[in-house]
Amino acid sequence: MSSPRKLTPQEEARLAQVRSNFQERRRISESLEGIGTRIGVYSGKGGVGKTTVATNLSVILAAQDKEVSLFDCDIDCPNVTQVLRISEGPVQNGEKLVPPSRFGVKVMSMAFFQDNEDEAIVWRGPMIHNAINQFLHSTEWGSPDYMVVDLPPGTSDAPLTVMQTLNLDGFVIVTTPHELAVLDAKRSINMIKKMNLKVFGIVENLSGGVFGTGGGQALAEEMGIPFLGALTMSADYMNSKLPASLESDEVGAEFTAISEALQAQVEASKK
């Protein structure tokens, strides 16, 4: 039998690359294996209430005795930490980072690694991919029932890279009743469908204000997707020390209803 041919330097390098990709993927899946369901909160536009929904939904799930991790992955505008008023970052424990906890929710954010709050981060696809991978395997996620992810909006490179890297189980789409927002939401849903991923449902935010009401429900019917509920435009979201869902009974009731509808969809998707 002839002895195996020696690998060329190019082949050696390629093999090392494959091995390191494989090891990285294994480390990530080990780090995430305890997580029950990964839910991306997503919208076609910024400013429609993605962060509001992601944070309040997490807080309400925690109030319903679920274990929840919130991952702020809106790389251009990571502002979950501002909304929840978290000033302390994660704590190093050996090779792992232990996320801070607020209102029963463990929070990890790209903002922890920004030098300056006002700094605009311009990331390209491969950088996003690497940064998220780093986050995913170095964070001590524990075994929460849910991981809620605040995603970058739109259908550009950034949200796509994030979605592919995170391997989400499904999405909550946030829209306003306004027809342009609904159109953008539709685009986002089509993109998710093209990626063969699941939409758990649609939330209509800023409902009942100048934009009227019903756009989210109509979109849900048109696309054959569950409607999870509406959130009224309300002053309760302004300058409060607590997340609006804990501060106000009305907002709390809206989020409780959405949370229950979402959990029912998550359960149904497992069957």
Ligand X SMILES: Nc1ncnc2c1ncn2[C@@H]1O[C@H](COP(=O)(O)OP(=O)(O)O)[C@@H](O)[C@H]1O
Report the nearest approach of ligand X to the CB of residue 142 (Å).
Answer: 25
**Residue 44: which of 207, 156, 209, 161 has the closest Cα?**
156
Nearer of residues 46 and 104 to ligand X, judged by Cβ: 46
Count, residues near ligand X per rule CB under 6 A: 14
Angle at 250 between CA 226 and CA 147, to 5 degrees: 50
Count, residues near Mg ion per rule CB under 5 A: 2
Residue 109 binds ligand X (CB under 6 A): no
What whole-number distance in Å separates Cα of residue 153 and Cα of residue 41? 9
**Residue 41: which of 156, 192, 256, 218 has the closest Cα?**
192
Q: What DSSP state is assigned to residue 141?
A: -
**Residue 129: which of 152, 105, 102, 160 has the closest Cα?**
160
What whole-number distance in Å separates Cα of residue 111 and Cα of residue 74? 9
3-state helix, strand, coil in the chain (%, to 5): 45, 20, 35
Residue 48 binds ligand X (CB under 6 A): yes
Contacts to Mg ion from residues 48-67, by CB under 5 A: 50-51
**Residue 189: which of 176, 168, 207, 170 has the closest Cα?**
170
Report the nearest approach of Mg ion to the CB of residue 220 (Å).
Answer: 22
Residue 50 binds ligand X (CB under 6 A): yes
Q: Give Dmax (Cα) for the chain.
A: 81
Q: Exactly one of 24, 31, 36, 46 binds ligand X (CB under 6 A); which one?
A: 46
What is the pattern of x (binds ligand X, CB under 6 A) and - over residues 187-226?
------------------xx--------------------
Binding partner at 43 among Mg ion, ligand X, none, C-beta below 5 to 8 Å by kind: ligand X
Nearer of residues 32 and 78 to ligand X, judged by Cβ: 78
Residue 165 binds Mg ion (CB under 5 A): no
Nearer of residues 250 and 267 to ligand X, judged by Cβ: 250
Residues in contact with Mg ion by the rule CB under 5 A: 50-51
Positions in the binding site for ligand X (CB under 6 A): 43, 46-52, 205-206, 231, 233-234, 237
